[in-house]
């Protein structure tokens, strides 16, 4: 019997001949020894196979929501442009168009990274564990009297290393992590490498440019910090610094290290430069977090938006502990989320280490354990955790163990001095009495509005009455939250719900300011939320670029994504530059007192007379902190205050010239000095800042 030809088979399928069936194996590949049949004529193939191109929509369906949202967010900017009605109207149009684009599948968020099908390893090294426990207990018993010493610090550090040895899994080696860092800079894609260097250069510029002059003047909290750093230089190695309601230790030791390395001494610049560096150290983990949640482009966009952001720049530049909050939130979340996805114990160990270390940084970080518990709780409640719930609870216990070991010195202090440890946090929380719930509700609502409407009026770290985010970041943040919640309702992925929820939790240190509701919202105490806010904005931004590239005509797709990215990034760059280096600098200059000019007067007096013991500043309500001019003069441990009722004590100095610095409104002090020193000369110092002049009374 003759074998049917391919042409006979095609005719049978078209109803033009007898029905022919071929064996499946013969249809897939030719058998050994047989000759492969040639391809049928192209005309016949076209009759049975019609190529269908994917339907493409106009890019306007993607671009119009952005256009209207930008107009709406621009209407939320401070006067004379502010109009809530206009802003809400344009946002309504934008979100309606966004819903249409989502329905037509024109715009999608980047997919979340899939969990690995691993398993949790419960084994550990018993001997190392018992040795670590012994040294941890020894360290705890010797961490008394609020002091770091060799006797307690050495066993503490040894216990940390032994706990790591006991639980660390060998299969994830340090060499592997180093190779990942090297691969990031691998010259296989020159355009990506160029983008990386542009990102680094831009963020370095925004973080370090004009560090000496923005912000221009210190205030009382800076005086407290410099005195704390001075105490360390004198051998007082405290675990917790009780001055001014208490401060955690990291910034004090970090500032002393910066001052010694860069030779900037105990100065306002040392404080600012130190915290600016802390802000920079946050950014690599923003990239890693964005990459862990979605992809490296999300990490890049999130790092860029946060690196140039007015919000993170102001809290990093001011010279206080503020950037320590996001600095430790970022790595804790990165290692926690990666540990959950990879089922890897080492990630939980690292998350625990950073969780404990963050407790030594800035008091609002104390909310972070609740964020960790929320993440684990949401994960357990969702289907992704099936088969892993027992294991995740075991890893959580390891995370808690490592955080407690790192927290150990501060924990001993908290048990020894509970009132001093909790005073600052409780002073904001207040007593839960009548009306507390109403105050918290208002605070919570204002906290929700801070990103797009009003970030508060605290001139220390913000431009009053404006949104915490720039126009571009604010728009994509709103879009990102909307997309996450919609996608959660559709797919029930726990991470889509956790990201918006974590923002609410991380703002609680601000919204729980029930005793002082006027201090909410506060960019410093809500600073940890910035980590997630910019990642969420980057998710929406990446979704825009991917959708535009895939839906636009082929030649237009790549060009349009680059043009739109450059345009939006440029808008963000110019606005944030103006906010930081113009508006914030001017606001701060008006809010602070010109202690630098008083310090210069003291320096000139010392250069002329060889001493400063007969220089005094007469305190006045709501005026300069009398310790700060000494900081500018290189005398960080002296308070130049001489109160009005003690002016007669200055008569004891009979052989040296004297100088008094007086508030311009303090006419009583001027009259007293004229009676005490009739030959004195009164002059007015003309400040470079309007309404900041002061009197100088010189006694020959």
Distance from chain centroid for Cα 385 = 29
**pLDDT the model gives residue 171:** 60
- pTM beyond 0.85: the answer is yes
Rounded CA gap, 699 and 687, in Å? 22
In the sheet with 681-685, reading across from the earlier edge strand, the strands are 615-617, 658-663, 694-699, 681-685
Terminal CA-CA length for the chain: 131
Question: What does the pLDDT read at residue 79?
Answer: 80
| 3-class DSSP assignment, residue 62 | helix
Residue 191, pLDDT score: 82
Nearest to 570 by CA among 3, 45, 51, 70: 70
Question: In Å, how far are 248, 312, 376 from 327, measured between CA atoms?
Answer: 15, 11, 21
Q: Read off the pLDDT of residues 355-392 as tens digits, 9 standing for 90 and up.
A: 999 999 999 999 999 999 999 999 999 998 998 999 99
The reported pLDDT for the residue numbered 275 is 98
The answer to whether 609 touches 344, Cβ cutoff 8 Å, is: no
In 3-state terms the chain splits into helix, strand, coil percentages (rounded to 5) of 65, 5, 35
How far apart are the C-alpha atoms of 185 and 197, rounded to whole Å? 10
Q: How far is the C-alpha of 311 from the C-alpha of 303, rounded, in Å? A: 13
- Give pLDDT tens digits for 89-126: 999 999 999 999 998 888 888 999 988 877 777 788 99
- Within 10 angstroms of residue 261's Cβ, the number of other Cβ atoms is 8
Around Cβ 224, how many Cβ atoms within 10 Å?
A: 18
Cα separation of 450 and 500, whole Å? 15
DSSP letters, 228-269, are HHHHHHTT---SEE-GGG-EESHHHHHHHHHHHHHT--SSHH
Work out the angle at residue 177's Cα, subtended by the Cα atoms of residues 172 and 180, and round it to the nearest 5 degrees. Answer: 130
How do residues 529-569 score in pLDDT, each as one tens digit? Answer: 999 999 999 999 999 998 888 766 666 667 888 899 999 99
Write out the two tokens for 222. 């800076």
Cα(589)–Cα(308) distance, integer angstroms: 22
Q: What is the pLDDT of residue 28?
A: 37
Rg over CA atoms, the chain:
32
The parts of the chain modelled with pLDDT lower than 70 are: 1-58, 171-188, 430-432, 551-557
pLDDT of 628 reads 97
């Amino acid at each position: 019997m003759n074998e049917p030809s391919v042409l006979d088979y095609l005719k049978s399928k078209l109803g033009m001949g007898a029905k022919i069936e071929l064996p499946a194996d013969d249809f897939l590949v030719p058998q050994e020894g047989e000759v492969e049949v040639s391809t049928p004529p192209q005309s016949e193939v076209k009759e049975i196979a019609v190529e269908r191109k994917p339907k493409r929509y106009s890019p306007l369906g993607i671009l119009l929501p952005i256009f209207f949202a930008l107009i709406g967010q621009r209407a939320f900017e401070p006067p004379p442009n502010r109009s809530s009605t206009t802003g809400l109207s344009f946002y309504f149009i934008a979100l309606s168009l966004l819903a249409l684009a989502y329905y037509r599948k024109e715009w999608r968020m980047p997919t979340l990274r899939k969990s690995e099908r691993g398993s949790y390893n419960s084994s550990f090294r018993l001997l190392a564990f018992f040795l670590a426990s012994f040294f941890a207990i020894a360290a705890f018993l010797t961490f008394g009297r609020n002091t770091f010493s060799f006797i307690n610090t050495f066993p503490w550090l040894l216990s940390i290393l032994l706990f790591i040895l006991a639980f660390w899994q060998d299969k994830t080696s340090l060499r592997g992590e180093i190779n990942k860092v090297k691969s990031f800079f691998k010259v296989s894609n020159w355009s990506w490498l160029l983008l990386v260097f542009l990102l680094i250069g831009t963020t370095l510029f925004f973080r370090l440019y004009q560090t000496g002059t923005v912000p221009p003047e210190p205030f009382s909290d800076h005086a407290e910090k410099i005195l704390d750093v001075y105490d360390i230089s004198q051998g007082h190695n405290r675990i917790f610094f009780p001055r001014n309601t208490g401060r955690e230790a990291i910034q004090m030791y970090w500032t002393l290290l910066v001052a010694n390395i860069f030779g900037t001494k105990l100065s306002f610049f040392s404080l600012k430069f130190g915290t600016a560096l802390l802000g920079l150290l946050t950014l690599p983990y923003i990239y890693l977090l964005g990459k862990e949640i979605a992809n490296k482009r999300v990490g890049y966009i999130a790092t860029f938006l946060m690196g140039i952001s007015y919000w993170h720049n102001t809290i990093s530049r001011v010279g206080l502990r503020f950037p320590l909050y996001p600095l430790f939130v970022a790595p804790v979340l990165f290692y926690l989320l990666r540990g959950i996805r990879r089922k890897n114990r080492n990630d939980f160990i690292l998350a625990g280490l950073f969780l404990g270390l963050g407790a030594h940084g800035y008091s609002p970080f104390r909310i972070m354990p609740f964020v960790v518990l929320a993440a684990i709780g949401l994960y357990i409640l969702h289907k992704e955790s099936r088969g892993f719930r027992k294991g995740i609870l075991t890893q959580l216990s390891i995370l808690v163990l490592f955080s407690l070991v790192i927290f150990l010195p501060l924990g001993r202090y908290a048990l020894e001095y509970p009132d001093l440890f909790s005073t600052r946090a409780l002073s904001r929380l207040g007593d839960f009495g009548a009306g507390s719930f109403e105050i918290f509700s208002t605070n919570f609502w204002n906290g929700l509005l801070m990103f797009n409407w009003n970030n508060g009026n605290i001139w220390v770290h913000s431009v009053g009455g404006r949104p915490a985010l720039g126009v571009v970041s604010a728009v994509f943040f709103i879009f990102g939250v909307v997309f996450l919640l919609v996608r959660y309702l559709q797919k029930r992925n726990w991470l889509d719900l956790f990201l918006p929820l974590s923002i609410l939790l991380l703002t609680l240190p601000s919204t729980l300011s029930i005793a002082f509701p006027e201090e909410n919202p506060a960019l410093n105490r809500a600073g940890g939320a910035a980590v997630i806010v910019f990642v969420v904005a980057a998710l929406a931004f990446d979704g825009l670029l991917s959708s535009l590239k895939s839906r636009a005509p082929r030649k237009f797709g790549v060009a349009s994504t680059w043009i739109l990215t450059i345009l939006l990034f440029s808008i963000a760059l110019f606005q944030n530059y103006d906010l930081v280096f113009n508006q914030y600098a001017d606001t701060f200059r008006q809010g602070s007192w010109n202690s630098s000019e008083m310090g210069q007067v003291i320096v000139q007096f010392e250069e002329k007379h060889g001493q400063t013991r007969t220089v005094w500043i007469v305190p006045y309500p709501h005026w300069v902190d009398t310790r700060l001019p000494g900081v500018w003069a290189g005398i960080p441990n002296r308070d130049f205050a001489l109160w009005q009722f003690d002016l007669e004590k200055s008569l004891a100095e009979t052989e040296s010239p004297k100088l008094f610095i007086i508030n311009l409104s303090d006419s009583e002090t001027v009259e007293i000095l004229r009676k005490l020193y009739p030959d004195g000369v009164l002059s007015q110092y003309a400040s470079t800042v309007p309404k900041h002049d002061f009197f100088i009374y010189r006694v020959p």
